[in-house]
Structure formats: structure tokens, C-alpha cells
Chain A
């Protein structure tokens, strides 16, 4: 057996200029990061304070950094596809089919698994413990493993650009096409192992947050006092725990098919591809809600804060979230109405799908009614929320249309479908996460993001979205199938050129986001968040300093109503200092999570390339690390009361310098909590 398995020198991307430049950008990007850390002499800080951290806030920040990097990569794929289709009328364009097919596969994979999922985990990590008045998540070390296994998956994604080729089977990897008979090579194996490994990580994140929200709430924080964002993370965690095993099983069985001669999904010998497709969507549809519910949570927080008003219909919103969570498991078959199921089966799943639109519609109206009789301040997060409300209902309309099996027979596999799910995921998921990023950025770093560039980013994104995706609806009506590398129907081209213009405007939006970050860091001293409560907020994450102390709360808050922080400000008990502080037990930083992540990535790489000895070695390292860590009783340390007091003294000194209310200078400011009568 060759020690390099099936890895040979020909696996390097020197066979095509496009592949080689993609690889070069990836390698140079990696070197640039290493170089920058070295240049700033930051290795010690990176190693001791970040990669070994079990602090949920730092883990959250690292997740979001990963998500933003992958957003760039996923966007580059999208722009390449739009460019190819804009020119490929009656010619081959600039991308050969093999390359184009890898790009649409990697675009979907990246955006779902390595952009949206880490972004979601990042926001949850950053905010949920603070929102429920907790000092930590339930399992801080497991949290670190989740982060590094997710990063291992994303790392494999980036490595696939340099060593070997990626899958051409789309982000869903339908067999038998994804089987070894039709797609030999490492591409699908890359896809399978990265999804498998990061799926593991996500399942652990789900367990972590379910337990955190159940067990770590502050005194008085009953379930029906939880902020909406926490509620949505709670339901999302439940969905993760139930849905991800289906994906893991689908991947594992396809891995057996491809590598060990099994026949779960092959054409021959009793295999049946329909089983894979059922399993995949049994995960895939809940996954849509796993992604979008937290964004709904962000919108709920943002709309209430910037309308300066209580959230309208709290109970309705919670019930709608639960209903969506339950119903999300009853609709998966609508992804393949065209498989030839009977009218009875299709009607059932079509009806269930239409029913999901009811709680979703309720949410939209509740957010609108929150704005009603409010005093709306148009900060960038609020702009994204309003943009979402208007745009999302169009996606809802096309979704209900696709839920009707006869309409789906016509529209399935066309760009109408592509337009539909981008119309849900860009305004629904991405706008939500970007709103959350801009809303909670000061909580993470202690200064606010530049509003001008945020507003510009918003306008580029929303205008770009309409120009890029409305033509895809039309193209769908013209019969344009998805995943077309070139085409021969002239009527399609003008729409594809318009869509390309839209992609260029979205590129401007991406640039605005980058400029916003750079400008904000350079001018951070003008936008410092000294109080920890930059938006005159309502929930408990605004009670901590920005950035929060390692323990979040020196004294656990006592919650007496919804909008707990607002209520404390109203009663005049916010910023109260205790007579004395207590010792706080904290988890120690550890490299074990990083080691498991790196070993997980090596395991995946080795399994992809059939270097079985290395795979076994990596598994042994993982097992050894877990055993070592599990038998290490010295995994906590005590932050003494005097240390806590020191941090808190500094915090209150800073508070004294802070404006009493950072929103008070806003032209639309409506007054602080203290002025508000009790109800």
C-alpha cells in the first residue's frame, strides 16, 4: 500500500489556469494570515488567548470570522457562475463544464455549511449566555471542539481547491451521480467528509445550546421571559439534534458506497437513490429553519430596540417559532414532488408546506405591528430588517407556489427554484445575520461599526439582490434550467446579463462591508461603547460591559419580567453594585479542542485520499486527547473576589465617563426606560 494513498503529484492544480489561480489565492491568503500574525508578533496572544480559549464570546467571534472568510469565497463562486452564464450563449464561455460544475457545488456547500452555519453558531455563542444572564455555556470545552471541527471542515473545503478537485455533484450530492461509478475521484469524498465532520460539530453545538438554555438561565428568567433570539436558538438546537443525524447517516452510507463497495444508493444490486434523497431532505428541510429561525430572532430583537417599543405579540412569536420547528419535519418531500409519488402523497406534503407559511406570516405581521406606533431609528440593522420584511414575502409567495405540486412540476429544477431559495436565504438568513453582526459588534469589541458604510452596504445588497434574482424568476418561467454551463436559447441571455449586473452591485455591497470593518477599526476611538448599552437595549446582553468580562456577570441578575434589562433600567436597579464580590469558578483554556479539530481535519484528508494509516493515527490522537482531557481534573480555576472587584471597578470607572444614554443624541430618540411608567 502506498503511504500517500491515491494522492499523486497530478493532484496539484497545474492542469488549468483558473484552477491554479484559485489555488494560488487560497495559498497566498493562508500565508498572508500567518505573515500578519508574525509581523504583529501576535502568535503568543493568538495561541494563549484565542485558539485555546473556551470562552463562548471568543469562540463566537472566531466562528463569525470563519463565516465572513467563507462568505467571500462563496461569493467569488457566485460571481464566477453569473459571469459564465452571462456570456455562455452559443459558446462555451470561459469555464469548462468540469470547472463550472465544481463551482456551483462548492458555492452551495460553502454558503450553507461554512458560511451560514458558523455565522449562526457564532451569534449564538456570543449572545445567548449573556441574554439569559449566564456566565457560560453548559459545556465550554465541547464548544471549543465544535468550533475546531467546523473549522476542520471548512479547511478541507479550502484544501480541495489546492489538492485534487472538488465534487461536481451539487451541494446535495444526489446519487447515483455522486456514486463512484459515475463520479470517481476525490471530489465527492471531499464533500462527504467535510459535511460529515462539520455535521458532528453542529450536533454538539445543538446539544450545548439546548442544555445551556434549559439549565443556565439566571434566577427569574422563565422560558416565557426569554428574549426571542434565545427562543429561536432553543428551537434551532432542537431541530439540529433531530435533523443532523439524518445527514450523518446519509453521508456515512454514501461513504460506504463510494469507498467500500456497498450498494445503498447505486443503480444496481438493490440500491435505491431515493433513500438518500429522502434522508438528505429529512435533514435538509429542517436545516432551512435551523438557519432562518435565529435570523428571525435577530429581527425580533432589532425591530423592538430600534422601534423603541416592546416586541408586539411575544407569545404569538414564540408559538409561531415552535410551530415552524415542528412542521419543518413534515414537509421534506416537497423537494422531490417530481419523483413520481402519487397524488395523495404529493398533496399531503404540499398542504403541510402551505401550512408552514401561516406561522411565518404571523411573524411578519408581528414585526410590522412592533414598528406601528413606534419611533423608528434607522440604524443599519434596522434597515436590513425592513429590507428583509419587504423582500421576504416575495420569496414566501414563490415558496407557496412551489408548494403546489402541479406548479412544481413546471418550475422544479429551473432558476425559478434558485430564485426562490435565494429569496428566502439572502433576506431571511444573511440579512438577519448581518443585522446581528452590526447590532452585536459593539458587544463583542467595545466599539460600534461605522453606520455610513453599513447603510451603503445595505443599499448595495438589497438593490443588488433584486437585480440579481428577479431575472432568475423570469428565466425560470422561460424554462431555464439551473446548473447550465452554456445554452442555445437567445431569449435567456438578456436576463442573465441583468443578473450579472446585480451580482456586481452585490460585490459593491461586499466591498462596503469590508470598508466598514476597516474604517470602524481605524476610527474606533470615536465610536467607543463605554456603557455596554449602545442602543438603549432591552435584553440582558446589554447589562454587561462591552466587551463583556470573562465571567459576563459579576453578580447574576434577577429577572422580573420580559425585556429584563429595560425593566431593570426602568426600576432604577440597573448598574447596581453589590456590597462585596464572590469568587467565580472559570474553565481553564485548553489546546485539546484545537488538537481534536486539527486531527479531525487530518483524519478527513487522509480518508479522502485513502491514506488509511494516517486516518487511524488521527483517530488515535482524537481518542487519546479526549481520554487525557476527561481524566484531567484540573480544568478549572478560581477568579478571586478581589480580581473580580478590580475588573468591576474599572468597568464602573468607564461607566462614569460614558454618556448616560448613548442613543440620547439620536434625532429620533424617544426617551429612556426610567421615564416610562410601569404597566
Chain B
């Protein structure tokens, strides 16, 4: 009897030790994560994405918590040495249990599916954030291993720096002049791939001033780790001043300069260009797409021509 108790005790102590380790890991993990981009967004898109994450996590607890409880309870209660527990070796079917284990997860998935469709449409990166406000147009071009941002309305271009007025939607057209890249500014919202010969789009807005890092997150070769930039969300006046500053640049981005810039290079410092070769973005897409500058990922194209 004592031996049995000792075994049971050892078991429960092992299980609690394991739980403690898991708990501690999660707890330690908690430090720092609250300021991370996912949990501390600086724009409504990222905020909505985070809220969906919270909601879905909460609803999933309906399944997850019972699993934890059942696993711990059954393991301890029905350990072979516990002769007091009921033992029914032929118990292999029970209608109510079957109905519960199929219908509860199914119900959760129905709930999830509704939210999934709603949020996926709402947070479609191609959708303009506020149709009543004209968004700031930016064109992002992925190169090895840097980002070139063109402001077509202002005739300026910048390498590895993005500036935007706060509370003004920004519409970024994206393409690549090299391998596949993925553009993300985590504090503001999710990512979209950049692909040669195609344009993709990302609509973002910052609702707080600040500097947020952004980068390519799709592995693209040896300079990948350093392919990052800072995003400055600033007041309207500061933004205008910034544009002026870029316009003062002595470098023009003509076709020849572009060719040199597009060559692989790493850790490229922030560089300002003005003026910019007209239709540069379209030319880069056209280079790979037989001049079809509106080429989009297939399913998106079908959608837009509907």
C-alpha cells in the first residue's frame, strides 16, 4: 500500500514538475512579449489581426482545457496501481460521448469559420482602409538585399527607409526585381509577398507616431538577415518636411542609377533620390511580364476582372 502511494506520489510529482516547467516557460515567455509587435500594435490593421488571434485562442480553450484536465485526471486516477478506480475493459463505445466529441469541435469550427470569413474580407490587404480618404501612394521594390520605396506623387525614392504621416492610410504597391520577398512592418500589420513580374498590395495605417522596424521575412539569400528598414510615422508637417529633405537629394534615380542600385548589395545605408525615372515601378514589372504591368497573382486577377 505504501509502495503504491509512493508510486502515485512520484507520478503526481513528476506531472506537476512537468507542468511547472511548461508554466514557467510560458511565464518567462510573457516578459517582453507584451511590447512585441504582435501584442502591442500601432495601427488598426495590426490591432484587428491581434484581436482575432485573442478571440480564436479564447474559443479554442473550450477544447484545450478539457484535454489538459482529462489527461492529468485520467493519468493519475486510472494508473494501474490504483485498485480503487473503476475498470471497464470492454467500454469502447458510448453514443453521448461520440456526439460530444464530434459536435463540440464542429461547433467551434463553425464559429471560427464565420469570424474567419468576416475578418479575412475586412483585413484583406488589398482593401483601401478608408474609401473617403485618398491614401498615400508608395511603391515598394524588393532588391537583393534592400527595399526601394518610391513615392510617385512626390517624385522621390528612398532606399531602406519608409516615412508616412500618422493617421493617413498608406497604399503600398509591391513587386520584386529579384527572388520572392515578403514585406512586413509588424507593428502596423501583416505581410504580403513581393514577386517579380507581378504586383501585390498592402494597405496600412499608423495611428501613433513612432519608429517601427520593417523587413523582408521571406528568405532570399545571404544578405537576407540584414534586409531591414525603419518606418517613421510622423505628423503631417514633419512628413512634408521629410519629403522636402528627400527632394534636396543630389542623386537622381534614372535608369542607369537604378541598374547599379539593383545589383546585389548588403547593409545599404538609407539613401534619398529625386527626381525618379517616370514609370519606374511599371517598367520593373514589365521587364518580367511582357509589359503586362497590371499582372497580379492568378486568383486575385480573376477576382478583379469579375
Q: Is A28's CB within 8 Å of the partner chain B?
A: no
B38-A477 in contact (CB<8A)? yes
What's the minimum C-beta distance from B159 to chain A, rounded to whole angstroms? Answer: 18
With a CB–CB cut-off of 8 A, which chain A residues contact B97?
A: 312-313, 365, 369
**In the complex, what residues of B have CB within 8 A of residue A274's CB?**
195, 297-298
B297: A residues at CB distance < 8 A:
274, 339-341
The stretch that binds B, out of A232-240, A464-472, A594-602, is A464-472
Given contacts A267-B288, A313-B98, A390-B71, contact A481 B87 (CB under 8 A): no
In A313-366, the 8 Å CB interface with B consists of 313-316, 336, 338-347, 350-351, 354-355, 357-358, 361-362, 364-366
Known: A345-B299, A486-B225, A667-B81. Contact between A394 and B25, CB under 8 A?
Answer: no
Q: Given contacts A313-B92, A491-B32, are A410 and B49 in contact (CB under 8 A)?
A: yes
Does A521 lie at the interface of the complex (its beta carbon under 8 Å from any beta carbon of B)?
A: no
| B80 and A666 within 8 A (CB) | yes
Q: Does A155 contact B (CB under 8 A)?
A: no
Provide the bound-state CA to CA distance between A559 and B221, in Å: 58
Chain A residues lying within 8 Å of B81, measured Cβ to Cβ, are: 667-668
A346 near B29 with CB under 8 A, answer: no
Chain B residues closer than 8 Å to A377, beta-carbon distance: 80
Q: Which residues from chain B contact A481 at a C-beta distance below 8 Å? A: 215, 217
CA distance A393 to B61 in the complex (A): 10
Q: Does any Cβ of A come within 8 Å of B190's Cβ?
A: yes
Chain A interface secondary structure, helix, strand, loop or mixed? helix
**Any B CB within 8 A of the CB of A676:** yes
Cross-interface CB contact of B86 among A339, A373, A474, cutoff 8 Å: A373
- Chain B residues with CB under 8 Å of A314's CB are 92-93
Cα(A356)–Cα(B179), bound, Å: 33
Task: Determine the chain A residues whose CB is within 8 A of the CB of B60 once the complex forms.
Answer: 396-397, 400
- Report Cα–Cα, A309/B89, bound state, in Å: 4
Query: Would B105 and A361 count as touching, CB distance under 8 A?
Result: yes
What 0/1 readout, one digit per residue, does chain B (110-122) give for beta carbons within 8 Å of chain A?
0011011101111
Contacts of A403 in B (CB 8 A): 116
Give residues 249-301 of B contacting A (CB, 8 Å).
287-288, 290, 296-300
In the bound complex, how far is the Cα of B295 from the Cα of A372, in angstroms? 58
Within 8 A of A (CB), among B172-218: 178-180, 182, 184, 186, 189-193, 195-198, 200-201, 213, 215, 217-218
**Is B101 touching A350 in the complex (CB atoms < 8 A)?**
no
Complex interface: chain A residues within 8 A of B101 (CB): 313, 316, 361-362, 365-366, 369
Chain B 51-88, CB-CB to A under 8 Å as 1, else 0, gives 01100110010011001101100110011110001111
- Is A482 an interface residue, CB under 8 A from the partner? yes
CB distance from B298 to the nearest CB of A (A): 7
Kindly state whether residue A310 has any CB partner on chain B within 8 Å: yes
Chain B 223-248 near chain A by CB (<8 Å), digits 1 or 0: 11100100000000000000000000
Chain B residue nearest in CB terms to A364: B67
Instruction: Tell me the complex Cα distance, A411–B191, Å.
Output: 9
Query: A491 CA to B39 CA in the complex, in Å?
Result: 14
Q: Which residue of B lies closest to A182 (CB)?
A: B179
Considering the chains assembled together, what is the distance between the CA atoms of A477 and B37 in angstroms?
Answer: 7
Residues of A contacting B30 in the complex (Cβ-Cβ under 8 angstroms): 474
B36 touches A491 (CB 8 A): yes
Asked if A378 lies at the interface with its beta carbon under 8 angstroms from chain B, I say: yes
Q: Which of A60-68, A170-178, A208-216 contacts B (4 or more CB under 8 A)?
A: A170-178
Asked if residues B78 and A479 are in contact (CB atoms below 8 Å), the reply is: no
Distance from A352 Cβ to chain B, minimum over Cβ atoms (Å): 10
Q: Is the CB of B75 within 8 A of A479?
A: no
Report if A404 contacts B (CB, 8 A): yes
A405-B120 in contact (CB<8A): yes
Q: Which residues of A contact B116 (CB under 8 A)?
A: 347, 350-351, 354, 403-405
Q: Give every chain A residue within 8 A of B49 (Cβ-Cβ).
A: 406-407, 409-410
- Bound complex: CA A490 to CA B64 (Å): 33
Which B residues between 12 and 69 are near A, CB-CB below 8 angstroms? 14, 18, 21-22, 25-26, 28-30, 32-33, 35-39, 46, 48-50, 52-53, 56-57, 60, 63-64, 67-68
A182 with B178: CB separation less than 8 A: yes
Contact present for A404 and B179 (CB under 8 Å): no
Is B220 an interface position by the 8 A CB rule?
yes
Q: Cβ of A378 and Cβ of B63 under 8 Å apart? A: no
In the assembled complex, which residues on chain A have CB atoms less than 8 Å from the CB atom of B57? 397, 401
Q: How far is the CB of A422 from chain B (nearest CB, A)?
A: 14
Interfacial chain B residues near A477, Cβ < 8 Å? 33, 36-39
Given the known A-B contacts A404-B56, A409-B192, are A343 and B124 also in contact in the complex, defined by CB atoms under 8 Å? yes
A312 and B123 contact, CB distance less than 8 A: no
How far is it, in angstroms, between the C-alpha of A339 and the C-alpha of B191 when the chains are bound? 9
**A371 nearest in chain B by CB position:** B74
> Considering the chains assembled together, what is the distance between the CA atoms of A364 and B105 in angstroms?
11
Name the B residues within 8 Å of A668 (CB-CB).
Answer: 79-81
In the complex, what residue of chain B is closest to A667 when comparing beta carbons?
B81
Cβ of A495 under 8 Å from chain B:
yes
Check A390–B67 contact: CB distance below 8 A: yes
Distance of A311 Cα from B91 Cα, bound (Å):
8
Chain B residues whose C-beta falls within 8 Å of the C-beta of A230 in the assembled complex: none
Contacts of A371 in B (CB 8 A): 74-75, 78
Q: Is A473 an interface residue (CB 8 A)?
A: yes
- The answer, among B18, B39, B179, B298, for a CB contact under 8 Å with A463, is B18
The answer to whether B25 and A354 have CB atoms under 8 Å apart is no
Residues of B within 8 A of A168 (CB): 221-222
CB <8 Å contact, A341 and B299:
yes
Q: Could you list some 15 contacts between A and B, CB below 8 A?
A: A309-B89, A312-B91, A315-B93, A338-B191, A340-B200, A342-B302, A358-B102, A372-B70, A373-B78, A376-B74, A386-B75, A410-B186, A413-B184, A479-B37, A482-B217
Q: Which 5 A-B pairs have the closest CB atoms?
A: A668-B80, A409-B190, A478-B36, A310-B92, A340-B200
**Which residues of A come within 8 Å of B, CB atoms?**
97-98, 101, 168, 170, 174, 176-177, 182-183, 267-268, 270, 272-274, 307-316, 336, 338-347, 350-351, 354-355, 357-358, 361-362, 364-366, 368-369, 371-378, 386, 389-390, 393-394, 396-397, 400-401, 403-414, 459, 462-463, 466-467, 470-471, 473-474, 476-479, 481-489, 491, 494-495, 498, 666-670, 676, 679
Where the two chains meet, the residues of B that have a C-beta atom closer than 8 Å to any C-beta of A are 3-4, 7, 11, 14, 18, 21-22, 25-26, 28-30, 32-33, 35-39, 46, 48-50, 52-53, 56-57, 60, 63-64, 67-68, 70-71, 74-75, 78-81, 85-94, 97-98, 100-102, 105-106, 109, 112-113, 115-117, 119-127, 178-180, 182, 184, 186, 189-193, 195-198, 200-201, 213, 215, 217-225, 228, 287-288, 290, 296-300, 302-303
